[in-house]
Amino acid sequence: MSWTDKARISAAAQAVREIRDNTTIGLGSGNTILRALELAAERIKKENLKITFIPTSYQTEIAAKKLGLKTSDLQEDTEPDLALDGADQIQWRTLDLVKGGGAALLREKIVDSTARRLIIVVDEKKLAKTLGGPNQYRSR
């Protein structure tokens, strides 16, 4: 397993620790969020949690359904308790961030802004000294 994969799993595991029973979770998209979803599914099964997910992309929705997770949308659940999302770049001193321009961006922004809490799940590879500048990641 590569260092990047280990970092993604670690970041995803930290985020999944914040999930509570009887909550609605907004889900962004991308590899790290998919890892978080897999870990959440394991925890839900192990602890018999009642969680509803609001996916922001077709990819995330399909993954949630394959894992047997309950999904919803913002028309039914207008205020998620928590949103888990990724970012393309984070300025490490200010935590300002850049979101990608992918197809799910609008839905991600809507879900993120309506959630009571937002956790941005990234690994060290996404850190930069200044936004728009090079990422500070160095291979280990």
CA-CA distance, 104 to 58, in Å (whole number)? 8
Q: Are 81 and 25 a contacting pair, CB within 8 Å? A: yes
Residue of 38, 47, 108, 124 with catalytic role: 108
Query: How does strand 97-98 pair with strand 89-91?
Result: antiparallel
Whether 76 sits among the annotated catalytic residues: the reply is no
Supply 123's token pair. 């690994």
Question: Which one, of 72, 89, 95, 88, lies nearest residue 26 by Cα?
Answer: 72
Cβ atoms 117, 82 nearer than 8 A: yes
Enumerate the active-site residues.
Answer: 108
